[in-house]
Structure 1
């Protein structure tokens, strides 16, 4: 992986350790060592970031910084690996982040599996993976990770959701509600939609999953062919209220007899202006809870 340059504020954002504390550790224990640019600006590399994430894991498990400072980098990494899969959300979240920074598939798999064993699949996705993606989004915007890293972790999570969905039992011939799921043209981020596909199937819905970037002019034929009971879609790319309302009104006009659930954020200014047969993710979650009972 190409070397990255992180400021001390980047280290604070990624590790959760205050910049002031990092400076004290650096000065008192020499635990991290910044480099300098040609213009004498201090920065830290990938190895320093990984070391800080490991130190954060150990510190959260009761290791004093004075003790950690006496360990070799190999000892720090080994002990962090030993404690990183047990206990609180903070430590598992740090392990997830470290798997991204290192592009470490085994660490991600072990951390994810431990979370699922302890909390269950849905809890893991909702309470760990979705917040994790929000953190990744902030990191990506700040330039502290690159697109390749984001693609790496997204594909691992995507595969986990697909595998979990395929493991669900399907019974042919049962007359249950049918949900059609798709993302509109130009929308490529399907992790959320994949999860809703899983969650609906787990509650007894039949689903037809079309995936990302589906042309609008192909939908009417699909709808007339499969005759769904509801549609689940959404827009994850930044969009203004006018474009969102144009999309929602056109889709609802194409399918006037169906309830259409929008899973992405509703832009400011669009609230209260959706068509009568348009609903938000909160309505979808309520529907799924009713289905479970």
Structure 2
């Protein structure tokens, strides 16, 4: 039906020419990693659509940059999930980001309260988080980089957002009897808003989340795991400089607790393979972890 409506279809040879990947390799990627699922013609030839070509082109780029094919396939799927989630959440009718920046510049508590109330009260937490709050905080960070917002102003907003996320975490309930997951940051890592947002989403997925917060020493992670015997741990790596501490922590936890599931997420994981990677979207990451823990 799609072909009848004019959607382009490509043979494996055409896709090979477009991507620079040999037909045999394209077929292997399909079979081993399920990165695409092309349709078949009446003669049983593979027919790829434009989305398939886009995925394979991106996977080829990652492999040429040095990623193993298995990790490249995972990253392609994760990026597509984030794009789909972003498209879904863009319909959020939040206040102008300029209002948030103005509230920061003026240290205006009343305006900041109104902005956050409007952003967080009309839709689900997940929609507000992905559709307005995280993009707005990114824009606030860019305003700081441009010199439009002072460090104190940015902290003023971050503290208010932290209070809102903490309230949402408490409102999500304890989920007693559910699988336990520890969420926190490695030693030296300080930017915890992303981890806390993820923890809220994971609690709303029915998991018993214990949030450890920022700058958790290695020994404290070990103590928490020994005490709680959790079903899994999620280590947030917000900045590239936090990756080394996270790598040491995860290696140690996996060695001392071989059956423990360990995930990592955050912007600091982009250039390093640490544990089991999570999608960049906090919502999709929470869904990934909850699906795994609840079926164990």
Q: State the TM-score bracket (shorter-chain normalisation).
A: 0.5 to 0.7
Which one scores higher on RCO, CA 8 angstroms, separation ≥ 6? 2
What is the match of residue 79 of structure 1? none
Inter-partner Cα distance in structure 2 for 1:162 and 1:106: 20
Inter-partner Cα distance in structure 1 for 2:105 and 2:174: 38
Unmatched tracts of structure 2, length 5 or more? 1-90
What is the match of residue 251 of structure 2? 249
What is the match of residue 260 of structure 1? 262
User: CA offsets per residue over residues 124-152 of structure 1, 9 Å max, x none?
Assistant: 12221111221222222333221101110
Aligned residues: 201
- Which residue among 232, 235, 238 is the counterpart of 2:237? 235
Change in CA separation of 1:254 and 1:92 when aligned onto 2, cut-off 3 Å: farther
What is the match of residue 132 of structure 1? 136
Change in CA separation of 1:107 and 1:219 when aligned onto 2, cut-off 3 Å: same
Aligned-pair CA distance for 1:182: 1.4
| Structure 2 counterparts to residues 72-87 of structure 1, below 5 A | none
Q: Which has the larger radius of gyration?
A: 1
Inter-partner Cα distance in structure 1 for 2:121 and 2:130: 15
CA RMSD of superposed structures (Å): 2.9
What is the match of residue 279 of structure 1? 277
1:244, 1:267 within 8 Å by CA — same for their partners in 2? no
| Structure 2 counterparts to residues 3-152 of structure 1, below 5 A | 89=93, 91-152=95-156
User: CA offsets per residue over residues 188-243 of structure 1, 9 Å max, x none?
Assistant: 11111111221111121111111111110222221111011111112213328766
- Which residue among 175, 178, 185 is the counterpart of 2:177? 175
Inter-partner Cα distance in structure 1 for 2:250 and 2:123: 36
Change in CA separation of 1:279 and 1:254 when aligned onto 2, cut-off 3 Å: farther
2:184, 2:216 within 8 Å by CA — same for their partners in 1? yes
Aligned-pair CA distance for 1:248: 3.8
Change in CA separation of 1:96 and 1:181 when aligned onto 2, cut-off 3 Å: same
TM-score in terms of structure 1 length: 0.60
Change in CA separation of 1:106 and 1:200 when aligned onto 2, cut-off 3 Å: same
User: CA offsets per residue over residues 5-40 of structure 1, 9 Å max, x none?
Assistant: xxxxxxxxxxxxxxxxxxxxxxxxxxxxxxxxxxxx
